[in-house]
Structure 1
Amino acid sequence: MTTVPAPATPAPVLDKPLMRYGRRTLERNAPGREPVEYQLLTVHPMTPHLGAELGGVDLSQPIGAELADEIRAALLEWKVVFFRDQHSFAPEHQRALAALWGEPEENPFFPKGQGVGVSRLAKDATAVGNENIWHSDHSFMANPALGSVLRAVEVPPAGGDTMWADMGAAYDNLPDELKQRIEGLRAEHDWVPSWGSMMTEEQIAKLRERLPAVQHPVVVRHPVTGRRLLYVNEPFTTRIVGLSAEESRELLDELVLQARIPEYQVRFRWRADSVAIWDNIAVQHYAISDYYPARRVMERIAIAGVPLS
Structure 2
Amino acid sequence: MLCPTYLSSVRLIYSYVSYIAHKHARCNYKITMVSFICYIQIYVHGIVRRSSSFNTGRIEHLYKDPQTHTEGNMKLHYGDLTDSTCLVKIINEVKPSEIYNLGAQSHVKVSFDLAEYTADVDGIGTLRLLDAIKTCGLTNSVRFYQASTSELYGKVQEIPQKETTPFYPRSPYGAAKLYAFWIVINFREAYNLFAVNGILFNHESPRRGANFVTRKISRSVAKIHLGQLDCFSLGNLDAKRDWGHARDYVEVGYGWVVQAAENRIPHTFIHSFLQGEYVFVDHLQQKYLICMQSLVNVCQEGVDRCWDTAY
Scaled by the length of structure 2, the TM-score of the pair is 0.28
Higher helix share: 2
Higher strand share: 1
